[in-house]
Structure 1
Amino acid sequence: MHDALVLANSAFAILMIVFLIIYVKVNPLIALVIGPLYLGLSSGIGFDETIKAITTGFGDLMARIGLLIGFGVMIGAFMDKMGVFQHVAELIMTRLRKRQVPFAFATILCSIFPPIYTDVLLVISAPLAKMLARNLGPNGLPMMAAAVGVGMELALVIVVPGVAALALSAVLEVDLGTMLIYGLMVAIPTAIVTLMIYAALLKMGLWDVERDQLPADEDPAPADPAPEHFHTKAPLAVSLLPVLVPIIMIAIGAINRAFDLESPILSAMGNSTFALLIGLIIAFLVGKRYLPIQARKEAVSQAFRESGQILLLTGVAGSLSEVVGLTDLGGILSGYFSAGGSAPLLLVWLVACVLHIAIGSVSVSAITAASLLAPVASQLDVEPVWIALAAGSGSLFLIHVTSNTFWLMQTLMHMTLRGTLKTFSLAVSIASFVSLAAILILSSVF
């Protein structure tokens, strides 16, 4: 098949997925299986080989990422029940100056709380952000809404163990230690620079209180942000152990590989599955000490509910990648982009942007975009970790009305539709561009 026909046929397969999800209202899981099935059959691979590739791709990816996602989501559920975020917010309120609060809020969200599922993190952070906003003046609400949106979305797709970041690392076979270190190098500066840009826009008159905020008597969000679902507050240092210990272990493993220390002990410590298992065990032990049995059961049930859809959607991304690897698309893309290291990054960023605008899911758009380049990632003149991060970066562009998180943000932060577009959509879109710039700069250095 001619190169142009291969590219056109592959583009049609992606457009078919988008059409099925948006207009036919097909579940994304089914659409993401139909797409690779069409691509395989139309590319002459044959029915049996296409079905085999779909199932093999799903199974191989689940073998690499299934336990990691399950462990990570369960750690996040326990941290939620223990009220860890509320502890951190109290420190922010008592230790920092007013103008530092939004920057600290976003940085902590994207660096410490990636394990907590995005909508859950929004539910527990938004009331606290609203409370803090009251002390920051007329632009306090948009600034804190931007901080929440930027922090939690970066946590989802850029920083391990965010569930989408875990999936991207698996799709592109990126070592989790590498993903963690480079993800933090991108996420933290992105959060700070984005909020600096957004603060400048607010000073130029971006926010209109009367048109962008709901009147106080129409506030649908609870006034009291204090959580009621945990029994006794654990000391902050103890309650953070379930996430800090695995991160340290994974980082140690990355250092062991980077410096060729070849230590069996460090290698075992740095194994990502083992590290997150240790984190989960710590979460259970801390929870047993500080949570009633009902709260612990709720944490486990919540984790199972949240991880099921994530696992299935991640798995079918592996199916798409496997089928793409059997077509001529991989060789064509490799030939086009072997000359320039930035070209694959710009491509995957752009594809993730377009998919997200159409589908409305940050995770699905990032993983699908990464799947297209995964079969040839090792042949390109750029490290796969940067492709993974670029896919995550592109998926942040223009979160809007097709996203359930958009409406949840509007409700919890007491904003109009116009106000939510000015805060959540605008700030996270700025973060998409800022993170892309950071990725391009860092990929040229490391």
Structure 2
Amino acid sequence: MGLGLLLIVFAVSLVFVLVSIIKFNLHPFLSLLIGGLIMGILAGLPLTQVADGLAAGFGSTMQGIGILIILGVGLGHLLHISGCTSQIAAAMLKLTGQKRAGVAVNLTGYIVSIPVFFDAAFVILVNLVKSLSRKGKIPFVSLVTALSVGLIVTHAMVIPTPGPIAVAGTMGVNIGWFLLYSIVVSLPASLVGGVLYGKYLGGKAEYADDFANAFDDIEEEEIQESADLPSGALGIFLIFLPIIIILIGTIASMLLEPGTSAYIFFSFIGNKNIALLIGLLAAFFSLRRYVKDSFNDVVTEAATQSGIILAITGAGGAFGAIINLTGIGEKLVGGMAGMTEGAGIAMIVAAFVISQVLRAAQGSTTVALVTTSAIFAPILAGMATVSPILVSLAICAGGIGLSLPNDSGFWVINRFSKFDVPGTIKVWTVGGTIAGLTALVILVVLSMFTGVLPGLL
């Protein structure tokens, strides 16, 4: 089948996935699986190959990220039930000072959302933000913008959050380099979309004197470190421990001689699954005096919370496997053989746009990231001059902004901040979109140094 017909078949299957999720509320797990069936059958693949391809794609995706997702959710659950989250906020405020409370709140969101799910983290922290707004006479809208953008940026870009894990696994990139560049790109994006834009909103007349006045019916929560809870510094260390281990393993494998004992050791502990397992065990033993649940209860809860994520992510891998079997990736690469310097930027922008459109269309960041990475993995497989890490991060950046009322996160912000819908759009939708576009600009700049910077090719 020619490239033109394959593109039409691909468009049909993709439209089915979108319409079935958005219009008919079909579960993304089923939608992605059926989309893969449609793609394979219309492309003329043997029926047995389509069936086997779906299973193989699902299995290979689980091999790459299944353990990582469960361990990451477990780490986040431990930090949540131990009280570490509020302590991190207190530590950040102590570090930055009252005058830079927006930065403290943004960094708190940025750090906490690495292991803790966005919705839970916002609900936990919004009362602290309300209290800080009242006591510091800081416009509430500025702090909510700083918090929500900080949360969504790492939710979309930094592992062990499920979406970025799925992208890194599907795209087959080195986890260590992915982690390093995700932080390089996401931190400035968080500060621009959260702190700078939040400060701009707070300067508007309609918000300038609103110091969380809508929360008179809610008891204030103190933002101060407590001896009865684990320290914020410990919480931050536990969040970054597996990240540091992965980065050490990645760098050591570059510097050490392959086959030596040191190389084998650092490659072992730097493995993403081993690093996160170490992080989870370290967290439990460090926090067990603050946690009533047993370790078995923590793991059981993590497995329960991870179920739907694993199902959707595996189905995205199955969909991607069928796309790969049709050969559309190789044909696209052949058609783009003449592209050189512009190919990297073109792919980065295309990945961002498609991810952003999918995010706006169906609401879920994770589904947008899983679907977009399934599309681009086979396309990039034969493009040696395009950085898969930068394209992967562009996919993640596309999942940050354009959150509309079809996104559950939109209503979490709306309900717990007591903004109206236009206000929620100004804070959440616009703030996230600014952060996503900032990340895209940084990625385009980095793509100009692909041959110079380590780990990008």
Aligned pairs (5 A) from 1:5-404 = 5-111=5-111, 113-135=113-135, 137=137, 140-195=139-194, 197-199=196-198, 201-202=200-201, 205=204, 207-208=206-207, 216=214, 222-225=218-221, 232-262=228-258, 263-293=263-293, 299-337=298-336, 339=339, 340-380=343-383, 381-404=385-408
CA distance in structure 2 between the aligned counterparts of 1:238 and 1:192, rounded to whole angstroms = 23
CA distance in structure 2 between the aligned counterparts of 1:94 and 1:213, rounded to whole angstroms = 21
Answer with 244-253 or 73-82: which moved more: 244-253
CA distance in structure 1 between the aligned counterparts of 2:227 and 2:404, rounded to whole angstroms = 37
CA distance in structure 1 between the aligned counterparts of 2:135 and 2:445, rounded to whole angstroms = 37
Aligned letter for 1:422? Answer: K
Q: How far did residue 99 of structure 1 move?
A: 4.3
Aligned letter for 1:81? Answer: I
Residue 448 of structure 2 aligns to a residue in which SS? helix
Gaps of 5+ in 1: none
Query: 1:34-82 CA distances to partner (integer Å, 9 max, x unpaired)?
Result: 1111000000012211111111000011011100100011011001111
**22 and 277 in structure 1: CA distance in 2 versus 1, 3 angstrom threshold:** same
CA distance in structure 2 between the aligned counterparts of 1:204 and 1:342, rounded to whole angstroms = 36
Partner of 2:433: 429
Q: How far did residue 277 of structure 1 move?
A: 0.7
Q: How far did residue 13 of structure 1 move?
A: 1.0
- What count of residue pairs does the alignment treat as equivalent? 439
CA distance in structure 1 between the aligned counterparts of 2:113 and 2:120, rounded to whole angstroms = 11
**199 and 177 in structure 1: CA distance in 2 versus 1, 3 angstrom threshold:** same
TM-score for both structures, normalised by structure 2: 0.89
CA distance in structure 1 between the aligned counterparts of 2:288 and 2:137, rounded to whole angstroms = 42
CA contact (8 A) 1:118 1:156 kept: yes
**202 and 113 in structure 1: CA distance in 2 versus 1, 3 angstrom threshold:** closer
CA distance in structure 2 between the aligned counterparts of 1:126 and 1:427, rounded to whole angstroms = 17
Residue 306 of structure 1 aligns to a residue in which SS? helix
Partner of 2:412: 408
**49 and 288 in structure 1: CA distance in 2 versus 1, 3 angstrom threshold:** same
CA distance in structure 1 between the aligned counterparts of 2:293 and 2:99, rounded to whole angstroms = 40
Gaps of 5+ in 2: none
Residue 419 of structure 2 aligns to a residue in which SS? coil
Query: 1:128-158 CA distances to partner (integer Å, 9 max, x unpaired)?
Result: 22222224546x2221111122111111121
CA distance in structure 1 between the aligned counterparts of 2:125 and 2:278, rounded to whole angstroms = 26
CA distance in structure 2 between the aligned counterparts of 1:43 and 1:196, rounded to whole angstroms = 48
CA distance in structure 2 between the aligned counterparts of 1:231 and 1:168, rounded to whole angstroms = 39
CA distance in structure 2 between the aligned counterparts of 1:168 and 1:110, rounded to whole angstroms = 19
Aligned letter for 1:88? Answer: I
| RMSD of aligned alpha carbons | 2.6
Aligned letter for 2:184? Answer: M
Aligned letter for 1:254? Answer: T
Q: How far did residue 234 of structure 1 move?
A: 2.2
